[in-house]
């Protein structure tokens, strides 16, 4: 696998779909690289997937940096993106710059921020300093308390306009890609057509420029997590449980 760079990803728009996976450790990162995946996102979803929390809000900058370093040791060819966790950029643009620099020093090649016009000043400043930015609009998990949960966004005309305006705002600010999460397929297709930068969908239909899924989810490691957009390529929940049961039996039997 050749090294995937940001220009290569941006050149895929309209030509070839981008495959992105969220993972958090060197072992999975090595397998992701072997599979030829274009990009890895070290997401603040680690709060839910790794730490077992109800949402992403309690993830710290140090935790994301820790996992970025681990992923970087496992894979060097996929383009590596790091989430800016809640509380790492909301106070000021200066705080956001410091947080982004820490993630870049940990090994990230771009940072991801949630929001629209409210984060545009930060995006502009980061890009001016040579730090690529991936934006994230639609269902933005860091806004879970405002939304009242993880329900799909963009159902009303008002919400559709807000999401469209947010996408256009972050593109104008200099974002290099946009994650579109939990929005209608038609809206995602409209945004993808309007913006000149790649869109990465999750629960946003097939008309985006690429897709991202959490590796634990696509491998079926949680039998109880079954959102409508998720295709499980394996059933590791039952396979791993069975293997562990066999291991326990061998131990008990003295084998």
How far apart are the C-alpha atoms of 168 and 175, rounded to whole Å? 10
Does residue 122 sit within a domain?
A: yes
**Global confidence as pTM:** 0.95
User: CA 1, CA 35: separation in Å to the nearest integer?
Assistant: 9
Would you state the pLDDT for residue 142? 84
What residue numbers bound the domain in which 85 lies? 6-218
How many C-beta atoms lie closer than 10 Å to residue 18's C-beta?
Answer: 24
Does 250 map to a domain? Answer: no
Q: Which two tokens stand for residue 215?
A: 């590796």
* Least confident stretch, 11-15, 143-147, 184-188, 230-234: 143-147
The number of folded domains in the chain is 1
What local confidence, expressed as pLDDT, does residue 26 receive? Answer: 98
CA 207 to chain centre: 18
Helix, strand, coil shares, percent, the chain, to 5: 45, 15, 40
Each residue's pLDDT tens digit, 71-130: 999 999 999 999 999 999 999 999 999 999 999 999 999 999 999 999 999 999 999 999
- 237 in a domain, yes or no? no
In a domain, 254, yes or no: no
* Mean pLDDT computed over 229-236: 96
Q: Report whether pLDDT(149) > 80.
A: no
Active site residues: 181
pLDDT tens digit string along 181-224? 999 999 999 999 999 999 999 999 999 999 999 999 999 999 99
224 part of a folded domain:
no
Classify residue 178: in a domain, yes or no: yes
Q: What is the CATH number of the domain that holds 149?
A: 3.20.20.60
Q: Does 146 score more than 90 pLDDT? A: no
Q: What is the pLDDT of residue 147?
A: 78
Residue 73 lies in a domain: yes
Q: What is the pLDDT of residues 41-79, one digit of tens each?
A: 999 999 999 999 989 999 999 999 999 999 999 999 999
Q: Confirm whether 89 is domain-assigned.
A: yes
């Amino acid at each position: 696998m050749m090294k995937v760079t940001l220009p290569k990803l941006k050149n895929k728009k309209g030509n070839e779909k981008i495959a992105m996976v969220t993972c958090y450790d060197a072992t999975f990162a090595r397998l992701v690289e072997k599979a030829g995946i274009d990009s890895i996102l070290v997401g603040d979803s680690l709060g839910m997937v790794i730490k077992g929390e109800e949402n992403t809000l309690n993830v710290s900058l140090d935790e994301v940096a820790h996992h970025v370093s681990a992923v970087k040791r496992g894979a060097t060819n996929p383009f590596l993106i790091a989430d800016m966790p809640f509380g790492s950029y909301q106070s000021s643009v200066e705080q956001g710059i410091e947080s982004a620099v820490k993630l870049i020093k940990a090994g990230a090649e771009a940072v991801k921020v949630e929001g629209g016009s409210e984060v545009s000043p930060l995006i502009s400043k980061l890009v001016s300093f040579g730090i690529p930015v991936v934006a994230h609009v639609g269902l933005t998990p860091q806004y879970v308390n405002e939304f009242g949960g993880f329900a799909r966004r963009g159902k009303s005309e008002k919400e559709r306009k807000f999401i469209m305006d947010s996408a256009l705002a972050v593109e104008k600010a200099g974002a290099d890609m946009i994650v579109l999460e939990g929005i209608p397929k038609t809206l995602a297709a409209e945004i993808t057509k309007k913006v000149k930068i790649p869109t990465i969908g999750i629960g946003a239909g097939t008309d985006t420029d690429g897709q991202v899924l959490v590796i634990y989810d696509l491998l079926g490691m949680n039998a109880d997590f079954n959102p409508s957009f998720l295709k499980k390529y394996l059933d590791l929940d039952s396979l791993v449980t069975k293997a562990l049961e066999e291991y326990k039996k061998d131990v008990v039997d003295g084998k």
